[in-house]
């Protein structure tokens, strides 16, 4: 059965990458949550998509140049949600550890680079209380290899947007557990079949059109990452 992972939480119904969005994804029945992490100047892992944030005075700053307290003070809320702050990765672990959900952590490390982010991620991994349900992805594949070198049990999956030749071979070569491709690349001839033949799990992002959901779930891929987990769960129910 294709798993449904909520992209940055249930981001159509709450500010993305915030605790309300993650709490909604759990309540809606998602099988997993995808989020993004950056490293603050004082070595804390925070959940945010972009490398910059807008401060209270209207200026922008890089997360890597700010302390955790400064990042924590940023308000991501809107008129509906009210004030909502940027969570620390530890906050998400506390939410998900008692559940069965998978947590897909996209490690941001480029073009803005974070010295020491691999060490910080692995330290958090070991203290998470849910290490066996964490998958690390990144567009920086060297970062994924570095994570695996530091923690051989860590599950890693390269993200990619453009089509690759025999991507399953690349995934196996780098010692990864799965591929996380941009979903249109799976429409090329032989792609889904190639992953299946190689025994490589494939989880596609970001799938929001119900026809695309239906096609990928029907093809039996391992997971889809979506902004609308409720819609995806309804589509998946058609296959029960």
pLDDT tens for the chain, 240 residues: list them: 999 999 999 999 999 999 999 999 999 999 999 999 999 999 999 999 999 999 888 899 999 999 999 999 998 888 788 889 999 999 999 999 999 999 999 999 999 999 999 999 999 999 999 999 999 999 999 999 999 999 999 999 999 999 999 999 999 999 999 999 999 999 999 999 999 999 999 999 999 999 999 999 999 999 999 999 999 999 999 999
- For residue 57, the model assigns a pLDDT of 86
Establish if 69 belongs to a structural domain.
no
| 165 three-state secondary structure | coil
Give CA–CA dist 32/9, Å, rounded: 9
Whether 56 is covered by a domain: the verdict is: no
Q: What is the pLDDT of residue 89?
A: 99
CA 208 – CA 218 distance, rounded (Å)? 15
Per the structure, the count of domains in the chain is 1
Q: Confirm if 238 and 211 have CB atoms less than 8 A apart.
A: no
Please count the other Cβ atoms lying within 10 Å of the Cβ belonging to residue 8: 24
Annotated catalytic residue 141: no
State yes or no: is 49 an active-site residue: yes
Q: Is residue 198 part of a domain?
A: yes
Active site residue: 38, 49, 90, 173, which one? Answer: 49
Is there a domain that residue 59 lies in? no
Q: Which of 7, 125, 141, 180 is catalytic?
A: 7
Tell me, yes or no, whether 60 lies in a domain.
no
Q: Kindly report the backbone phi and psi dihedral angles of residue 135, in degrees, each rounded to the nearest multiple of 5, phi listed first.
A: -120, 130
Please state, as a whole number, how many other Cβ atoms lie within 10 Å of the Cβ of residue 60: 9
Q: Is residue 58 part of a domain?
A: no
What is residue 81's predicted lDDT score, i.e. its pLDDT? 83
Provide the CATH number for the domain around residue 158. 3.20.20.190
| Interatomic CA distance for residues 102 and 135, integer angstroms | 7
Residue 167 forms part of a structural domain: yes
Global pTM value? 0.98
Evaluate whether residue 78 is within a structural domain.
no
Task: Write the Ramachandran bin of 220: left for phi over 0, alpha for psi from -120 to 50, otherwise beta.
Answer: left
Q: Which domain holds residue 200?
A: 3-51+87-237
């Amino acid at each position: 059965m294709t798993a449904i992972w909520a992209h940055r939480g249930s981001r159509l119904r709450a500010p993305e990458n915030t605790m309300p969005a993650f709490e909604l994804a759990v309540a809606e029945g998602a099988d997993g949550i995808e989020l993004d992490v950056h490293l603050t100047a004082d070595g804390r892992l925070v959940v945010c998509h972009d490398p910059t944030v807008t401060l209270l005075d209207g200026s922008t700053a890089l997360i890597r140049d700010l302390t955790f307290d400064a990042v924590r003070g940023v308000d991501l809320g809107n008129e509906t949600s009210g004030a909502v702050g940027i969570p620390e990765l530890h906050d998400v672990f506390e939410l998900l550890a008692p559940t069965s959900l998978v947590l897909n952590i996209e490690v941001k490390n480029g073009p803005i680079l974070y010295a020491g982010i691999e060490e910080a991620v692995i330290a958090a991994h070991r203290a998470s209380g849910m290490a066996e349900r964490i998958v690390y992805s990144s567009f920086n594949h060297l970062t994924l290899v570095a994570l695996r070198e530091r923690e051989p049990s860590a599950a890693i999956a390269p993200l990619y947007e453009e089509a690759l030749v025999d991507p399953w071979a690349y995934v196996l070569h780098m010692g990864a557990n799965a591929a996380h491709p941009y979903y249109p690349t799976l429409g090329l001839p032989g792609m889904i079949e190639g992953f299946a033949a190689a025994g490589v799990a494939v989880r596609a992002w970001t799938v929001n059109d119900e026809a695309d959901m239906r096609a990928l779930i029907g093809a039996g891929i391992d997971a889809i990452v979506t902004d609308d987990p409720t819609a995806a769960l309804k589509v998946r129910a058609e296959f029960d």
